[in-house]
Amino acid sequence: MTHWQIEIFEENAAVLPEYEKISIAFAVKTMFSVELVENGLGGVRLIEETLEKPFLKDYDEHETERPSRWAERFDISNWGFFTAFDGEKRVGAAAIALKTPEIFKLDGREDSACLWDLRIAPEYRGKGIGKRLFAHAVNWSKEKGCRLLMVETQNVNVPACRFYARQGCKLGAVNRFAYPEFMNEIQLVWYRNL
């Protein structure tokens, strides 16, 4: 049995090229279809469906989405970065966006933060590291005076949706038209009161 000694440290944006080396890719075997009850008046129902052809999803495959390129798109001077280490090895990381007008989910609110990225090395997934990183994100956001933490996922990331629900997040927004280039993907935004 492998025993890991995981430690989590806050770091700065200079580590993003190393942070990026932690794979965020995952196999998509199921996805949520979004059913609008009475065209949405009766609510929304997420229905998990098994895919006939599973596929690999990697958010970093788009060059401009990679952590090492975030500073080109956003003012990251107010962001928080946490890294989980097993000894000297980076095995997980989280980025929290704060006071970033370019991120529409923050709606210009000074009391909101967005968990922009959470990644765990594949061989370390399911070991509680994500839960610990999420707790650091919550505590950091509270210390910055935030009252709300937001997280964006997609319907193709069923494990992430279930994870955020277990962390006390509630589904607050469904945007079926957020990704015109990925018509089968639906944006799901989760909210956690702090």
Q: How confident is the model at residue 3 (pLDDT cuts 50, 70, 90)?
A: low
Please check the confidence at residue 153 and state whether its pLDDT lies above 60: yes
- The CA R_g of the chain, rounded to the nearest whole Å, is 17
Residue in the structure block whose two tokens are 């006939």: 52
Contacts of 142 (CB under 8 A, 6+ apart): 194
Mean pLDDT score of the chain = 93
Average pLDDT on 77-95 reads: 97
Q: How confident is the model at residue 110 (pLDDT cuts 50, 70, 90)?
A: confident
Domain ranges of the chain: 6-193
Average pLDDT on 82-93 reads: 97
Characterize 129-159 residue by residue with b for buried, 16 or more Cβ atoms within 10 angstroms of its Cβ, and e for exposed: bbebbbebbbebbeebebebbbbbbbbbbbb
Q: Can you list the positions of beta strands (E) in 71-178?
A: 80-86, 89-98, 112-120, 148-154, 170-175
User: How much is the pLDDT for 1?
Assistant: 38
State the amino acid at position 138 in one-letter form.
Answer: V
Pick the CATH number of 6-193 from 1.20.140.10, 3.40.50.1360, 2.160.20.10, 3.40.630.30: 3.40.630.30
State the amino acid at position 86 in one-letter form.
Answer: D
Paired with 149 in beta bridges are 113, 192
- The pLDDT tens digits for 26-66 are 999 999 999 999 998 999 999 999 999 999 999 999 888 99
- The pLDDT tens digits for 158-187 are 999 999 999 999 999 999 999 888 778 999
Residue in the structure block whose two tokens are 């990644």: 119
Please tell me the pTM assigned to this model.
0.93
Distance CA 111, CA 108 (A): 9
User: How much is the pLDDT for 119?
Assistant: 98
Which of 149, 147, 162, 156 shows the shortest CA–CA distance to 178?
156
Q: Which helix (H) or strand (E) element contains residue 33?
A: strand 26-36
DSSP state of 179: -
